[in-house]
Homo-oligomer: A and B are copies of this chain.
């Protein structure tokens, strides 16, 4: 018998809560066990159902598996991120497709004119970045759903990575993500999280 906790108020079972959030940790070191293409496809097949504006799904993922592919990335990565990026079984470059709107007649068929609402590139870049970032949130959850650990990294030369890997000029690089089976032992205790009262408030009515 355990006391009722906030976890009991959720429909999601406790094992899944732990897998995705409570016990999951960002990983900096990984075992040698590979992350297979089938696992990556399974993660995508789950998280692709997460919602995006106009169902636009702007996230694009470039996987770097081989040492040769990784070697092209390392010069752009901050020194503190280099060793883990070199040794992770798989590294993903996460980017937004700024021309995602070209697919809207197919992805948002009840309003095919949505493509034309997004004719302005500057507005579209903002939309692409925002919705691809939402999808990165789903993706991090999805990596954990596969029993893997994710290691997101923001410390890199974004413009350099964009030139090196997306010379077409139609993608905005957002984040790097290492994936793998976490090595035993987290590097430090879990960092403190804000309390609900510090994050969420209810608007008071005028009296």
Interface residues of A (CB under 8 A from B): 6-7, 9-13, 15-17, 19-22, 24, 26, 37-51, 53, 55, 57, 59-66, 68-69, 72, 103, 106-110, 127, 130, 133-138, 140-141, 144-147, 150, 152, 154, 165, 174, 188, 190-194, 196, 199-203, 205-206
Contact = CB atoms under 8 A, between A and B. Distances in A.
Nearest to A67: B205
Given A21-B47, A53-B154, A199-B61, A205 B66 contact: yes
Contact of A134 (B44, B140, B194, B196): B140
Given A9-B38, A17-B145, A65-B202, 5 more contacts: A21-B49, A26-B51, A51-B152, A53-B152, A130-B133
Contacts of A145: 10-12, 16-17
A194 B12 CA distance: 27
A62 B10 CA distance: 21
B21 A12 contact: no
B9 A203 contact: no
Contacts of A196: 40-41, 44-45, 48
Contacts of A201: 61-63
Given A46-B22, A188-B110, A57 B10 contact: no
